[in-house]
Amino acid sequence: MDSLPTPSPLMGASSRRQFMQYLGAGAVCAAANRITPNWLTAQPVQTQASQATPLFDDFSFQEVGKTLEDAVTLPPGYKYEVILKHGDKIHPSGLQFGDQADYLAFHLENDEAGWLWINHENSFFLKGKELLSDVGGSCIRLRKDAGSGKWRPDLTSQDNLRVNGLDTKIKLLGPAAGSKALDGANEVVGSVGNCGGAVSPWGTFFSGEENFYHFWGDFDNPKSMDAPLHGLPDDLQRNPRHYGWMVEVDPQTKEVFKHTALGRFGHENIAFGFTKDGRLVGYMGDDRNAMGFYKFISREKYDAAAGKGNRRLLSDGTLYVADTVNGRWIPLDPEQTPVLKEKGFDLAEICVRTRVAVEFAGGTPLARPEDVEIHPETGEIYVCLTAYDNGTDNVGAIMVVREKEGDHGALAFEHQVFVLGGKEAGLAWPDNIGFGPDNALMVTTDYEVVEPPANSPHEWFGNNNLLIVPTKGEHRGQVRRFMSGPLGAELCSPTLSPCRTELWVNVQHPGDGGRGHWPEGGTSQPRSAMIAISRLKNAEERKPENLSGA
Ligand code: FEO
Ligand code: CA
Ligand code: CA
């Protein structure tokens, strides 16, 4: 596989041509290459948990057309129901489900019970304490309904909890905890900008603090001084360095941690894997323009018997940034990359001022690396590059990374473009990805919906959507639209339910731009919500009047 040309250090409008060249070479590459499945098996092959009819079989569904409706639009034969929406009570004490539902994930403890986690990324209309209370995340008991067999959140459970930006106490772990770079802090208050995430191999939830600068700014971005947007009052001012971390939430003990060894930047999410010799690996993207793609490798091996004791692996290891030009991983370590030592960085400083360290170390600036996921069969790493471009050409891409010899512990890799966005491709601004039936990619988009310019993705495709892109077979790399969201919304975190008969999706910030009233309609306030999509089962459900969903 060919290496791709160097992208410009800055991916703004002035350097768009270079970025296009970067992606353009990849497109040729993608067409010429066919990735052989099963060449890399660091991740176990997922088995079908249910023998029921899959939610969709690649391209068997009828594609949804361009819509500008204030509605969730699905192919004929499907329905949806709203499971949780902003403001719903999720605890007997009155705790509320927060705003802007983004990432969702579940962890099952047994055949009947588990946990649901949902990130609350931000809010466009709340202020001050109300704003900080409504961001963070919700952790809710999940139970299998004995009658329907469906998994649903139990909103009455005393176990349910909220992590928020206002008063949740969070322990720092790793090299920067208690360090000078953090003024000696071992504990911080609150989590904000919670975007994507993961479930750890030991069954806890991870949540990435992405646009933390919206709240308290960021003076450690080498590309620009990021000023805060929310205008929080003096009594709610905080040290920006307490944010921009990868957060871990333990639903059973209710402990919350920030892992400083995983670096501080605009964390989108994390994808866990293992090296061939059994060490823990986490791949991560920094969702700002011209920022890096990372992986962390633990020093010691994962021990399944140690359960949550494996958490310590994330405090002792090496963080690497990708050099996609030369296909190598650069260690962000003062001993292994001497320029960092010369510039005065110790390990703690690298953890806190990661973006600055990456500049010195030579990490490749990429076009907004967002969601990162490991293909369950092949072990390839899929990375959304969500570069903005409102012209007529390419608008975002999905990159595939193959580690050398199929080992997540390798320090060399190859990469190519799996799908190049654009009008013809039917894809623009890919943001979140997940693996569906037959390991087809489920891709959600996030392009501009507030006064979008002419000849933009909004004009081409209508509202933001959910696309299916097979990763193998005759339709590999082709795009088909499965779902279109309501006005103003982006769709987040497409996830098959535990029994794989439902597709769970978050509808984030519907009504953005002052238009739209989803899901309650009329003149109601629009609300972000989690929905469950399923196939219609019988003739009654398939009547025309029942086809448009709940
Ligand atoms: Fe929160 Fe990168 O989207
Ligand atoms: Ca995202
Ligand atoms: Ca997004």
Closest by CA to 328, choosing from 415, 439, 423, 412, is 412
Angle at 40 between CA 37 and CA 41, to 5 degrees: 105
Closest ligand (CA of 194): 1
**What percent of the chain lies above the pLDDT cut of 90?**
81
Rounded Cα gap, residues 267 and 369, in angstroms: 10
Minimum-distance ligand 1 atom for the alpha carbon of 266: 2
Q: Is 286 in the pocket of ligand 1 (CB under 6 A)?
A: no
Ligand 3 centre from 490 Cα, in Å? 7
Whether the CB of 268 sits within 6 Å of ligand 1:
yes
CATH code: domain of residue 342: 2.120.10.30
- Please give the number of the atom of ligand 1 that sits closest to the Cα of 121: 1
Give yes or no for residue 209 CB within 6 A of ligand 1: no
Statement: residue 67 has pLDDT above 60: yes
> Which CA distances in Å does 305 have to 143, 269, 275, 310, 408?
26, 26, 18, 9, 22
Ligand 1 pocket residue status of 248, Cβ below 6 Å: no
Distance 158 CA to ligand 3 centre (A): 31
**Nearest C-alpha to atom 3 of ligand 1 is from which residue?**
195
| 5 belongs to a structural domain | no
pLDDT in tens, 207-233: 999 999 999 999 999 998 899 999 999
Ligand 2 centroid from CA 293, angstroms: 15
For ligand 1, is residue 121 a contact (CB within 6 Å)? yes
CA of 360 to the centre of ligand 3 (A): 28
Q: Do residues 236 and 5 lie in contact, with contact meaning Cβ atoms separated by under 8 Å? A: no
For the record, the structure tokens of 513 come out as 């731009």
Which residue, 132, 106, 131, 133, is CA-closest to 118?
106
Non-local (6+) Cβ contacts of 487 within 8 A are 68, 69, 70, 449, 463, 510, 511, 513, 515, 516, 518
One-character DSSP codes across 404-449 = GGG-TT-SBEEEEEEEE-BTTTTB-SEEEEEE-GGG-EEEEE----
Counting ligands in written order, the one closest to the CA of 490 is 3
Decide if 7 is inside a domain: no
Of 530 and 37, the one with more pLDDT: 530
In a domain, 106, yes or no: yes
Residue with tokens 């994330």: 314
Q: What is the mean pLDDT of residues 357-380?
A: 97
What burial class does residue 415 get, using C-beta atoms within 10 Å of its C-beta: 0-12 exposed, 13-18 middle, 19+ buried?
Answer: buried
Per-residue pLDDT, 82: 98
Residue 370 alpha carbon to ligand 1 centre in Å:
7
d(C-alpha 391, C-alpha 457), whole Å:
9
Q: Identify the domain containing residue 345 by its residue range.
A: 16-154+162-546
- Which ligand 1 atom lies nearest to the CA of residue 285? 2
Report whether pLDDT(347) > 50: yes
**Could you tell me the pLDDT band of residue 540, with boundaries at 50, 70 and 90?**
low
**Within a domain: 457:** yes
Note whether residue 528 is domain-resident.
Answer: yes
Is residue 276 exposed (0-12), middle (13-18) or buried (19+ Cβ within 10 Å)? Answer: middle
Q: Pick the atom of ligand 1 nearest to 210's CA.
A: 1
The structure tokens listed for 136 are: 């963070």
Please give the tally of structural domains in the chain. Answer: 1
* pTM (2 d.p.): 0.90
Measured in whole angstroms, the distance separating CA 275 from the mean position of its chain's CA atoms is: 22
Coil vs helix vs strand at 507: strand
Ligand 1 contact via 384 beta carbon (within 6 Å): no
Tell me if 291 sits within 8 A of 366, measured CB to CB: yes
Counting atoms of ligand 1 from 1, which one is nearest the CA of 195?
Answer: 1
Indicate if ligand 1 lies below 6 Å from the C-beta of 431: yes
Contact 232/215 with Cβ under 8 angstroms? yes
3-state secondary structure (DSSP) of residue 513: coil
Does 70 or 48 have the greater pLDDT score?
70
Answer whether 414 contacts ligand 1 (Cβ < 6 A).
no
- Expressed in angstroms and rounded, the spacing between residue 438 Cα and the centre of ligand 2 is 24
- What is the Å distance from ligand 3's center to 146 Cα? 35
Task: Report how far apart, in Å, the C-alpha atoms of 28 and of each of 5, 25, 420, 478 are.
Answer: 13, 5, 10, 15
Q: Is 250 in the pocket of ligand 1 (CB under 6 A)?
A: no
Task: Decide: residue 10, CB within 10 A, 0-12 exposed, 13-18 middle, 19+ buried.
Answer: middle
In-domain check, residue 285: yes
Distance 490 CA to ligand 2 centre (A): 9
Task: Indicate if the pLDDT at residue 3 is higher than 90.
Answer: no
CB of 370 closer than 6 A to ligand 1? yes
Q: Is the pLDDT of residue 25 over 70?
A: no
Percentage of the chain with pLDDT > 70? Answer: 87
Q: How far does residue 109's CA lie from ligand 1's centre (Å)?
A: 29
Establish if 178 belongs to a structural domain. yes
Q: What is the pLDDT of residue 265?
A: 98
pLDDT band at 39 (very low <50, low <70, confident <90, very high): very low
Mean pLDDT lowest for which of 18-27, 313-322, 498-507?
18-27
Note whether residue 363 is domain-resident: yes
Nearest CA owner, ligand 1 atom 1: 195
